[in-house]
Structure 1
């Protein structure tokens, strides 16, 4: 299998970035030749907080799943930034994930330019990132996989400066999201994006959600699903036993790729 680490200068992030890429280019069998059709269908796969672009490679069998599905996989680094734009720091993660990374990798590799062949997914922080950037860029993505998504918009509103956990402290939320009250009426709130897009008559990507019944983010994921399930958007929530942990995300990525029916 072809696994590459690609480094390139990102204008959106104003620095050189490293991205892991899997291409199903060298599949073979001892009994017969396996022809992999070009261009490749592609999954942009995002990691969670305190993770890296190596997480999915090291902690799941994503390579086996992608090889079987003839699916290219692009795995960028999110740097604890929740994949949102931060104009004050000249760091535009949303532009990078939803636009620049797609364009750049399509120029580098034989990837399909069609939205129906292009997907975005992630876990926790990455599930949130997949939602906001997939919904904001329906011209690029047709299916979103959101696993144990860190839908923390409401929690950010009531966060405190004395919160001991760094990733729940109001200072952290302010550093990531900027003006906290404005989050709910921006693309940083996926329900807001859905409502705005539907009001304009736009077609949105399909949303495939998963969350473990023992996960502390279960309530937030259920609330998001309930808020949007009766709208003109194809959304599903798949609950099963599990917590905020890799065994659950292994099952989630397997179910998601099966859902793509490649």
Structure 2
């Protein structure tokens, strides 16, 4: 695969920022990597980082390049800092960036598919929350979304795990979250009531993870709504050994075309 360390200016953030991008490349002489490309515009996975990380972390902590190479899948990894993928109450507009500007810029820079059926999003922890929020708020844009150990209950996160100052900077207050566009439970209920096509959803969490109970509540909520959700759990904590294993499960689950992955 080709690896691009891309630096660019964001109008919505008002500053220069970065993303890592992996692009499919068919090779014959390369040793130790099974590369594949279908040609044309590539199916794309927007892969999101967690609260204490940045856009470099998936390449540093997992073998995502090696896993994606035989699938002909492009991977876009943006930086959003500790924003919870929100237009911050006292800070940059990261939701506008990741939901509107980033996909448009990435597609203008690189040969990435535009069709919903070939566009996917995934992430871990804060990024799992961001992935689900993108798919639930814009089901017309994403064919599938995956959350690994996601922060699925944002109100509980804001009240119990973030400082009052950080909650205020990101969301204004925890009291404003329930039923808002930042609330995954409310967004899932809205999607179930709508006529919009529903993206496939994947959720996993280790049974020893501190976010396990939050994930169970969201899983049960989606099941009651009748949303198409694949849920997996196994022993594991909030750590990279678990996420390195489960991102492979996500890639195998993605509905990629031409037999490149299992449906």
Moved more, 217-226 or 185-194: 185-194
* d(CA) in 2 for partners of 1:58, 1:242: 20
| Residue in 2 that maps onto 1:217 | 211
- Residue by residue over 1:164-213, the C-alpha shift from the partner in whole angstroms, topping out at 9 and shown as x without a partner, is xxx53222212111132121111111121122233232222111001001
Moved more, 31-40 or 91-100: 31-40
Offset of residue 154 of structure 1: 3.4
**SS of equivalent residue, structure 2 residue 8:** strand
| Residue in 2 that maps onto 1:228 | 222
Q: Does 1:202 align with 2:196?
A: yes
Is this contact kept in 2: 1:115–1:139, CA < 8 A?
yes
The CA RMSD measured in Å over matched residues stands at: 2.0
Is this contact kept in 1: 2:87–2:94, CA < 8 A?
yes
| Residue in 2 that maps onto 1:171 | 165
Offset of residue 158 of structure 1: 4.2
What TM-score does the superposition give when structure 1 sets the normalisation length?
0.90
Q: Does 1:59 align with 2:50?
A: no
* d(CA) in 2 for partners of 1:35, 1:207: 25
1:74 to 68, 73, 76: 76
Offset of residue 4 of structure 1: 0.4
Is this contact kept in 1: 2:19–2:55, CA < 8 A?
yes
1:2–1:30 Cα change, 3 Å? closer
Offset of residue 28 of structure 1: 2.9
- Residue by residue over 1:100-147, the C-alpha shift from the partner in whole angstroms, topping out at 9 and shown as x without a partner, is 111111111111110110100000011011111221122221111100
**Number of aligned positions between the proteins:** 254
- Residue by residue over 1:196-231, the C-alpha shift from the partner in whole angstroms, topping out at 9 and shown as x without a partner, is 233232222111001001101000000001011132
Is this contact kept in 2: 1:211–1:221, CA < 8 A?
yes
**SS of equivalent residue, structure 1 residue 126:** helix
2:85 to 83, 86, 93: 83
Moved more, 179-188 or 112-121: 179-188
What TM-score does the superposition give when structure 2 sets the normalisation length?
0.90
| Residue in 2 that maps onto 1:7 | 7
| Residue in 1 that maps onto 2:260 | none
| Residue in 2 that maps onto 1:47 | 49
Name stretches of at least 5 consecutive residues in structure 1 with no aligned partner.
160-166
| Residue in 1 that maps onto 2:131 | 130
Offset of residue 157 of structure 1: 6.2
1:168–1:30 Cα change, 3 Å? closer
